Amino acid sequence: MSEVYQIPDEPKAGRWENLATQPLWPLLAGMLGGPIFGWAWLILNALAFGSPTIKKEVALVLSGWVGLIGFTLLTFYSVHVGLLPKEAIPYMRIANSVIFLSVSYLIFLMQNRSFGIYEYYGGHVASGWIGLFIGFFIGPELERIQAEQLVIPLIEALL
Amino acid sequence: MSGEERDFSAPDPSWVDQAQAIRRLEMGDPRGAIEFLKRALGHSPENPGLHTLLALALLETKRLHAAELEAGISLDLDPEYPIAHRIMASVQLAKRNFSKAREHGAQSLALDPNDAQNRLMQARILQAMNKKEEAKTELEMAISLAPEDPNVHEAMGDHCRHHGDPKGARKFYQAALELEPEHFGSLVGMGYVLLLEGKVEEARDHAIWALSHNPTNEEAIGLITAIKARKSPFMGLWWRFNAWLVGKGEVRAMVTLMILFVLYRIGSQVLLDLGQEDASVTLRYLWLGFAVYTWVAPGYFQRQIQAELREVQLKPGF
């Protein structure tokens, strides 16, 4: 055996390497454009620079997404059956922000560690301005579509 | 020659890379060391010493997860390798996993009780667990085992400094500097002592010297930051807040920030529900100010320190 040893935390850049960007950009895009856009970009970024923790990141995004929708349904159901007053809805929405920020920040921390190594080995780093700009306009629209096509029908079916 | 016999006339190629890696580590270049160790491990993937060295280099570059895996591989290959236990203890300490750090520290000590480095490791763990007296005992034993090693005197100096004894710290740093006049850690430690004694200009000379030798050393950066923070309340506030957060570790810091965020959101909503719209808006602006401040302050602070490094020259004969 004479090849160079591969350390487990080293990224293996994929075919979309040109799209790799600092993980801070998708994190900001999520804050401006909502979870769907931010998380989709984080996963795309993980594929682009070959994040070694991509499986964990995908699992986090999926559980975060289920958590967000589940918590919204739970809130409306609790109000509907009288467990919570209507006035509690704004407080319950804070939990949604916490779920979104926790998942996003955990993925950001995971990617940030490997991204430093990716940069050190001369990996291509794209600017995130365009993505941020797109997220600002497209993100809220994606959230609206999700609410109309998925969340509201689910609430109606539940109540 | 049969296939199983080794050809001793040809040197093992991993030895050359290993020697280069050790040299890089001694020069304070762990990233360079990693490259040589990757090559060496390409030739000898079952060598626990190489995995341990790689774990050390990774630890020094703050790649804690990889360092933990490499120390683990080394211990799988040789469970009774004291240095691997010590490196694993260091990794666990950096991850603030005190129980595992203690477990591996104890194993390295049991395997080699007369190694001062194992005693030092044990002292560091005890110090992190706020067991001041037990840490001091370990440090005293380390000094008795290796009185000619400046690192053990430096560690005792650090212990005194962290427990509010600048006089004791000065004594041990001086002992280390007598053994090695350019001992990096002791010169930085002495800078902290001078700062505690209010001798800001002298402390700055120590910081500048240290940074001119190793511009990425955390302790040296911490010293120049502490000096700068003392002069500017604006930056000092951020530095203290940042140091407080960093001290908690990554995940706890995130949880702390999240709690602050939830408190802000609940406070803002409660004020709205109570009809205090102006107060709610004020709270939102305060949060926005906090967010902007924590965003802007690090970059501004960094520029101030770099300007300081450009302007300040060491006094002749320092």
ipTM for the predicted complex comes to 0.73
Q: To the nearest whole angstrom, how far is the Cα of A5 from the nearest Cα of chain B?
A: 5
Helices (H), ranges, B44-81: 48-60, 64-77
Q: For the CA atoms of chain A, what is the radius of gyration?
A: 19
Please answer yes or no on whether A5 and B262 come within 8 Å at the CB atom: no
Chain B hits for A6, Cβ within 8 Å: 38
Q: To the nearest whole angstrom, how far is the Cα of B106 from the nearest Cα of chain A?
A: 27
In a domain, A11, yes or no: no
Whether residue B314 lies within 8 A of chain A, CB to CB, comes out as no
3-state percent breakdown (helix, strand, coil) of chain A, nearest 5: 75, 0, 25
Of A97, A113, A120, the CB nearest to B265: A97
Q: Closest chain B residue to A105 measured between Cα atoms?
A: B254
Per DSSP, the three-state class of B27 is coil
In a domain, A15, yes or no: no
Whether residue A44 lies within 8 A of chain B, CB to CB, comes out as no
Helices (H), ranges, B78-115: 82-94, 98-111
Whether residue B203 lies within 8 A of chain A, CB to CB, comes out as no
Tell me the two tokens of residue A47: 């594929």
Please answer yes or no on whether A4 and B63 come within 8 Å at the CB atom: no
Please answer yes or no on whether B258 and A102 come within 8 Å at the CB atom: yes
How many cross-chain Cβ pairs, A to B, lie less than 8 Å apart? 59
Walk along chain B (318 residues) and give the pLDDT tens digit of each residue.
Answer: 344 444 555 566 778 899 999 999 988 889 899 999 999 999 899 999 999 999 999 998 888 888 999 999 999 999 999 999 999 999 999 888 999 999 999 999 999 999 999 999 999 999 989 899 999 999 999 999 999 999 999 999 999 998 989 999 999 999 999 999 889 999 999 999 999 998 988 898 888 888 777 776 778 878 888 887 777 777 777 777 777 777 677 777 888 888 888 899 899 999 998 999 999 999 999 999 988 888 787 777 777 777 766 665 556 556
Cβ burial, residue A5 (10 Å; 0-12/13-18/19+) = buried
pLDDT at residue B224, as a whole number: 83
Beta bridge partners of A126: A21
Of A1, A9, A91, the CB nearest to B45: A1
Residues 67-126 of B with CB under 8 A from A: 69-70
Whether residue B42 lies within 8 A of chain A, CB to CB, comes out as yes
Q: How far apart are CA B72 and CA B65, in angstroms?
A: 11
In a domain, A7, yes or no: no
Whether residue B58 lies within 8 A of chain A, CB to CB, comes out as yes
User: Where do we find the tokens 């001119």?
Assistant: B212
How many folded domains does chain A comprise? 1
In a domain, A20, yes or no: no
In a domain, A137, yes or no: yes
Half-sphere exposure of B300 (CA within 13 A, CB side): 13
DSSP string, B165-214: -HHHHHHHHHHHHHH-TT-HHHHHHHHHHHHHTT-HHHHHHHHHHHHHH-
Asked whether A45 and A132 are in contact (CB, 8 A), the reply is no
Q: How far apart are CA B318 and CA B314, in angstroms?
A: 7
Per residue in B205-222, is it b (16+ CB within 10 Å) or e — as a string?
bbbbbbbeebeebebbbb
Cβ burial, residue A94 (10 Å; 0-12/13-18/19+) = middle
Half-sphere exposure of B63 (CA within 13 A, CB side): 26
Give CA torsion, residues A53, A55, A56, A61, to 10 deg: 120
Assigned CATH topology for domain B151-231: 1.25.40
Q: Which domain holds residue A87?
A: 25-158
Q: Which CATH class is domain B11-146?
A: mainly alpha
Asked whether B85 and B107 are in contact (CB, 8 A), the reply is yes
- Domain chopping of chain B, boundaries: 11-146, 151-231, 233-318
Chain A hits for B253, Cβ within 8 Å: none
Chain B hits for A113, Cβ within 8 Å: 63, 65
CA distances from B269 to A73, A98, B92, B118, B286 (A): 21, 15, 41, 54, 15
Do B11-146 and B151-231 come out as alike in CATH topology? yes
pLDDT at A66 over 90: yes
